[in-house]
Amino acid sequence: MHSPEHTSLSRRAVVRTLSWTTPAVAVAAAAPAYATSVPSTGQVVVENYAIEPVDNVPTPTVEQCQQHAGITFLATRNNQPAPTTDTVTVQLPFGLTFAGGLGANVDGVTVLEVPVGRNGVVTVPAIVPTGSAGTYTVTVAYRGETTTQSVVVTPAPGEVFEIHRSTGSSTASATFSALEVSVGSAVSAGAIMGDQYTATNSAGSDQVKNGANGAVIAAGGTVRLWGRNIDAPTTAPVALKHSGTEVTGMQFVDAWTSIADNDQSTGGVAASASGNVFQWYRTGTTSGTLVVAKVSGITGTVLQVASDQTRSYVRTTTGVFSWTTATRGSSATATQILASGNVTQLDTFGYVYNGTKVGGSAIADGKLWSWGSDAKASSIALPAGATGVAKIATGSAGLMILDTAGNLWSRGVYSSDANSWTKRASDVVDFSFWGFGDIYAGGMWITTAGTAFKFFGDRTWYTPEPVTRASDRTPLSGITKTFSSDGTYLLLTSDGTVWATGGNLDNAGRNRATTLAVGSGTTTDLNVWGLHLGSNYYGGGYVLKNSAGC
């Protein structure tokens, strides 16, 4: 994605990564793997407990807002089926709920005690996906032992709205508007906005960037592209085709748009879980050809895609694969840059502006890995005192991680030592991040209280400020997700309201947010892009609505 996140203006310009399209995993607190008792004889008896998914059960796949029943686990005690008097703790991450409102919300995680059934079988009550499409993790704990079960959520019909930010200087308050994109009756999560601005080059002449590109997965896993670089207006997106045949069955998508002078190129990647991967590219000129290449060399089940200017990535059950953007031909070959069956997160960046900036980071086998333009991954030591990693976000200007204890750490241009870690905040449940060149970076974090703080650094770390309502200057509350880019930020609150704010912390008073009118129904996905050159800001994004609601 990036998802957002960086000035490649990909889906991850906020996070990506991982973030919205790859929901957070809830993990039960660690506990002893056994218990002891002392019978009347005085002899100590060791009790052994175990919990695991029922064998040979495929990964559940369920459409957004639709109930899914039948997820089961097997609990054992002393290698025998656990008694029906025992219970297990089931945890659902944000984006999954129990049907009928069962369970209690604990710091964004839904927790429910479920009794053990006959023969040690634990049947999880029906669940309903209320979040974006992607892969979620259900966690079950039994007497200190834990196990997990993935749930793949597929998109439901909905509407896409483009978000446009007013162009203005750092002294002007940003205004935002929304425009519906006509992509058909069934639209799924995965759209991305690109770049759209006019800048003045060193010679004093205007360079029109003809951006505002989007990509979304529609009915049947088809892909719809629109934007001035694609020659498709907002009201008439075009179908992604390979060798004259429309691409179908796609489940993941990401895209990018160039910000370099005299470079109006755009591109992206779409994939199915089964490993059908397609990359597109276009120069953006009126005479340019839309290049669509099928990508080979990828193994495993696809879990995530990421596309940036010059390079794209696929995360699978066997590792991370990458390839240089194919600008011609109908095929491309990926190379594995990180081999592991346990890559849990991926976030990348890439753009061309005053030189090519390409790289990324991942969590594999519990370790943090990073790479640059050579796409050679190397491990990075975690901050001293940090617990396991809950989320990562990367960019050319730095790297941030959220540990499982809720501490936010950074390293990059806003530190005295770019290779050292600095603790920035505690009591954090989520964050979004962006960077520009090796110059500056920023983003937002969300506290356990549901408030958001905007942060910014350019070798000086500015004092973070809470996001407030523009109407009365009171802190915005109930925030569940943030999406950050250079000077343009979106927020989602627990009641489904989308808020927007413009400007960075080096612009006084730019932490004030206003609401966006983006139709009815439930917000199921959104993202942001933004950029500022000199004193002028440009930006936008998209919001995906589920018309049915759930």
Closest CA to 10 of 232, 224, 193: 193
Same domain, 168 and 313: yes
What the block records as the tokens of 341 is: 């069956």
In this structure, the strands spanning 331-333 and 291-296 are: parallel
Q: Are 116 and 107 in contact (CB under 8 A)?
A: no
> 349: helix, coil or strand?
strand
How many degrees, rounded to 5, is the angle at CA 215 between CA 213 and CA 216? 150
DSSP state of 218: B
pLDDT of residue 240: 94
Q: What is the overall mean pLDDT for the chain? A: 80
> What is the total residue count of the chain?
550
Lowest mean pLDDT among 51-60, 182-191, 461-470: 182-191
Same domain, 361 and 448: yes
CA distance 152 to 133: 8
Predicted TM-score (pTM) of the model is 0.72
pLDDT of residue 262: 66
Cα 110 from chain centre: 20
Q: How far is CA 175 from CA 168, 321, 536, in A?
A: 9, 40, 14
CATH code assigned at 130: 2.60.40.10
pLDDT interval class at 198 (50, 70, 90): very low
CA distance 139 to 79: 21
pLDDT of residue 460: 83
Per-residue pLDDT of 487-504, as tens digits, reads 889 998 888 888 999 888
pLDDT of residue 331: 96
Same domain, 183 and 293: yes
Burial of 534 (0-12, 13-18, 19+ CB in 10 A): exposed
Domain count, the chain: 2
Q: Has residue 9 got a pLDDT over 50?
A: no
Same domain, 465 and 406: yes
Task: Report, as an integer, the average pLDDT of 65-85.
Answer: 92
Q: List Cβ neighbours of 140 (8 Å cut-off, separation of 6 or more).
A: 28, 51, 73, 88, 89, 90, 91, 122, 124, 146, 147, 148, 149
Same domain, 137 and 230: no
DSSP state of 185: S
Lowest mean pLDDT among 20-24, 52-56, 422-426, 445-449: 20-24
**Helix, strand, coil percentages, rounded to 5, for the chain:** 0, 50, 45
Domain containing 488: what range? Answer: 158-546
pLDDT interval class at 276 (50, 70, 90): very high
Which position has the higher pLDDT, 391 or 538?
Answer: 391
Task: Report, as an integer, the average pLDDT of 64-85.
Answer: 92
How many degrees, rounded to 5, is the angle at CA 411 between CA 410 and CA 415? 110
CA distance 377 to 368: 10
Per-residue pLDDT of 400-412, as tens digits, reads 999 999 999 998 8
CB neighbours of residue 366 within 10 Å:
10
DSSP state of 508: T
Which position has the higher pLDDT, 229 or 468?
Answer: 468
Task: Report, as an integer, the average pLDDT of 97-120.
Answer: 91
> 88: helix, coil or strand?
strand
CATH code assigned at 191: 2.130.10
CA distance 291 to 314: 19
Domain-terminating residue out of 118, 153, 188: 153
Same domain, 208 and 318: yes
> 100: helix, coil or strand?
helix
Residue 426 included in any domain:
yes
Same domain, 472 and 435: yes
**Letter for the amino acid at 182?**
S
Domain-terminating residue out of 153, 171, 195: 153
Q: List Cβ neighbours of 106 (8 Å cut-off, separation of 6 or more).
A: none
